[in-house]
Amino acid sequence: MAIADIRREYKVLTLDETQLDPDPLRQFSFWLEDAIGTQGRSRWRRIGIALYKLGQALLGRSGADVNAMTLATVGADGHPSSRTVLLKGIDERGFIFFTNYTSRKGTELESNPHAALTFYWPEFERQVCVAGKVSKVSREESEAYFKSRPRDSQLGAWASAQSHEVASRAELEARWEAVARQYPGEVPLPPFWGGFALRVERIEFWQGRPGRLHDRLCYWRLPAGGWRVGRLSP
């Protein structure tokens, strides 16, 4: 099949102003819960989502990595870059994720804290686009999260000079073995590793609709507090 012929109609759900929560982070949480499929707002909503997900599973569509998001950053040279990271929390500070501070994204966020996130949940024909400014979370919080990770991932964080060129796979694995010997017990938090929180300035909820007349509802943070909501043309 030609790439240009790959397309589909979006038709399963709708989004209008009356459905939106006044708080965009709560609205986001509802959509994430829908994608996770475990904690709907009511019993009937949960049953509806469970049936819907069952149907999708029978069609062979998986809802894995529902907390995966594309993170876009801009380098000091003005060039953008993007990659997938996992959302690890959401609260009044915004969207929280963890990474290597000396990676490409880490150094770009250091020099320019403006960033954007995109979530896409194909099962629900939904996209969320977020823009804002990041700041580092506290060392205590990074430590608490690091401790909750499997030992192999902790060692991986030490062994990988993320985004820097490495001579071979063998060298990477040798580094991992060396770190495993160095820390036979608890693995400490690397000084170059931790979390960022992205404070939302703008967040858009996109629901696919037939004929490409999609619903796009956007919240903009107001300087005096609160949010302005508007509908964007699809």
Q: Which is nearer to ligand FMN, 12 or 68 (CB)?
A: 68
Asked about 216 being catalytic, the answer comes back as no
Which among 34-42, 95-103, 128-136, 219-227 is the span making contact with ligand FMN, rule CB under 6 A?
95-103
- DSSP code of residue 86: E
User: Which one from 139, 212, 228, 231 is the annotated catalytic residue?
Assistant: 212
Closest CA to 20 of 128, 115, 95, 121: 128
Is there binding between residue 65 and ligand FMN (CB under 6 A)? yes
Token output for 103: 């990676």
Closest CA to 111 of 74, 79, 70: 74
C-beta of 157: minimal distance to ligand FMN in Å? 9
Is there binding between residue 54 and ligand FMN (CB under 6 A)? no
Is there binding between residue 19 and ligand FMN (CB under 6 A)? no
C-beta of 8: minimal distance to ligand FMN in Å? 23
d(CA 60, CA 68): 19
Binder among 15, 24, 72, 99 for ligand FMN (CB under 6 A): 99
d(CA 153, CA 176): 10
Is there binding between residue 103 and ligand FMN (CB under 6 A)? yes
End-to-end distance of the chain based on CA atoms, in angstroms? 27
Residue that is written with structure tokens 């062979």 in the block? 60
Q: Residues for the chain: how many in total?
A: 234
Is there binding between residue 86 and ligand FMN (CB under 6 A)? yes
Catalytic machinery residues: 212
Q: State the residues that interact with ligand FMN by CB under 6 A.
A: 65, 68, 81, 83-86, 97-100, 103-105, 162-163
